[in-house]
Amino acid sequence: MRKFSSYGPVSKTLNYYVPREELIQKAYTQLIGESFEEGGHYITVWAPRQCGKTWIMNEVFHRLGKDERFHVVKLELEHLKMSECLVEIVSDIAEKILRCTGLKHIPVSSLREFEGIFGKAVLDKPLILILDEFDALGEEAVASIAGVFRNIHNIRQKDLRPSAEKEYLLHGAALIGVRSVLGIENVKGSPFNIQRSLHIPNLTEEEVRSMLAWYEQESGQKVEQAVTDRLFYETRGQPGLVSWFGELLTEGYEYFQPDHSKPLTGEIFEEVYSAALQVLPNNTVLNIISKAKQEHCKGFVLELFKTREKIPFRFDDPTFNFLYMNGVVGIERSGFFVRFSCHFVQKRLFNYFSGELFHYMGEILEPFEDTSDTISEEGLNIRNLIRRYERHLQKNRDWMLADAPRRKDLRVFEAVFHFSLYEYLNRFLANKKAKVWPEFPTGNGAIDLIIRYRGKVYGLELKSYTDEGDYKEALKQAARYAASLKIDVIHLVFFVEYINEEYRRKYEAEFYDEKTSVRVVPVFAATGK
């Protein structure tokens, strides 16, 4: 029986996959060209890691290989990523091209000689070249090789003879990578501005559904609709993550052994999802975290957690570009704002930063301290719980925030207080059979903490206080969110630098939303001295 595979190109005979025929045909057509006589296009194929670039281009390669009019060569370049010698790199590529085409070996020791191997004097018929992991090469190599291809393309455009009779026989080329190495990252300008761009998108909801339906049909194990819905919602169709969850759900792991005689239910998905968030390693996610925590990106990522306003996406900004190409962020289509690439990635980043910044929270409770005003057999008093957090923050603020990341104006990032509250709640409720987890309903700044205790769900929506208009709108938004959770009470936690008792009494008055029949309980947490 087939299996899900989350790393590297999938096997069409061994793994579940999505055909993606439209993308394959698009790449094939661009490399062949609208007219054989005119020649094909030189294209870049790009997407974040584990999105299926290599698999799609392997399919294109096999299809092209059936056409007798061409030499078709596909090379992997990752083995050259540590080389800083341009001559060594182009010599290696040239040697493999000539070997794959069965032509006589010609030594290459310069860019001019490298360009020469694509000429009619060397090649006996048009060549379509596919270079995978092209952006693994250093910047000098990327710019130099792309410059050679650009020059060849320009000469071919001026040469009016049919493709097979032109001075250069590089009919089409595809450069595969995760970043737009041919554009903004080259400080001297793009050396390859003649290319067409082929972006490999995430899987659609229907494509995710088709993979699970295929598994259901082949295995006989029913997959409930809730599993498909949650899987797409949490991953936004990121191919590597979809297949990883497929592996976990159907093959299990150290802490979970699936029972294939019973349906895959939403409850099983939640069990697996919880483990994926906390204890299971995944190379794609670890790579995303490694990029998000880099010094030139960390401040931006923390800023993205803020709740006050959305950030417009700008692809020409190097930081935006880097984070997008490495799967940290995506684009919210309504308004083209930055958002995290998917909910699962956002939660993993939230867990990472909260643990990194607040792995030690100090003494949460004094010995024999009475907590009956906050937690009891009947439930939780969330207002008193937030009061306890506020007192703990005020008492320990100096050392807790001593190394906290700060904005350019030296203020602590808003997200830092969200992380500290989350870690405080985890410590306070430890060993009390309670569970705390973050939710991000929009994929960008909005954050909610959910607490489950003694069969009851408590929702805490976190905001930073700005002004009265925003405060009133936040009350209504919180009511709508509570209604979606099917709870009739929600606590709206406002972080503010300072609030006196008069304003606390005024703004902490409960709000009842008649449209949703939800009671909103505002609570302020002062973060300043």
pLDDT at residue 271, rounded to an integer: 95
Q: From 240, 257, 280, give the residue that closes a domain.
A: 280
DSSP state of 431: T
Q: Are residues 212 and 354 in the same domain?
A: no
- Residue at 351 is within a domain: yes
**Got the DSSP string for 313-373?**
--TTSHHHHHHHHTTSEEEETTTTEEEES-HHHHHHHHHHHHHHH-S-----S-TT---TT
- Residue at 8 is within a domain: no
Q: Are residues 320 and 384 in the same domain?
A: yes
Q: Are residues 343 and 228 in the same domain?
A: no
DSSP state of 202: P
Q: From 280, 314, 338, give the residue that closes a domain.
A: 280
Q: Are residues 168 and 234 in the same domain?
A: no
Rounded average pLDDT over 303-328? 84
pLDDT at residue 291, rounded to an integer: 95
The model scores a pTM over 0.85: yes
Q: Are residues 365 and 493 in the same domain?
A: yes
- Residue at 452 is within a domain: yes
Residue type, 409: D
Q: Are residues 438 and 522 in the same domain?
A: yes
Q: Are residues 34 and 142 in the same domain?
A: yes
Q: Are residues 430 and 508 in the same domain?
A: yes
Question: pLDDT at residue 188 above 70?
Answer: no
Band of pLDDT at residue 46, cut at 50, 70 and 90: confident
Rounded average pLDDT over 124-136? 94
Q: Are residues 95 and 109 in the same domain?
A: yes
Band of pLDDT at residue 445, cut at 50, 70 and 90: low
DSSP state of 312: B
Rounded average pLDDT over 368-372? 94
Q: Are residues 327 and 357 in the same domain?
A: yes
Band of pLDDT at residue 189, cut at 50, 70 and 90: very low
Q: Are residues 82 and 222 in the same domain?
A: no
pLDDT at residue 383, rounded to an integer: 97
Band of pLDDT at residue 325, cut at 50, 70 and 90: confident
- Residue at 2 is within a domain: no
Span 462-509, pLDDT tens digits: 999 999 999 999 999 999 989 988 999 999 999 999 999 999 999 999
Q: Percentage of the chain surpassing pLDDT 90?
A: 77
Rounded average pLDDT over 32-50? 88
pLDDT at residue 331, rounded to an integer: 87
Structural domain including 361 reads: 286-526
pLDDT at residue 183, rounded to an integer: 46
Number of domains observed in the structure of the chain: 3
The 3-state secondary structure of 2-47, one letter per residue = CECCCCCCCCCCCECCCCCHHHHHHHHHHHHCCCCCCCCCEEEEEC
Span 62-71, pLDDT tens digits: 999 999 999 9
Q: Are residues 210 and 191 in the same domain?
A: no
Whether 440 and 447 have beta carbons less than 8 Å apart is answered as yes
Span 328-349, pLDDT tens digits: 998 888 778 899 999 999 999 9
- Residue at 10 is within a domain: no
- Residue at 14 is within a domain: no
- Residue 431 burial (10 A CB sphere; 0-12, 13-18, 19+): exposed
Give the list of residues 6+ apart from residue 297 with CB closer than 8 angstroms, or none.
291, 319, 322, 323, 328
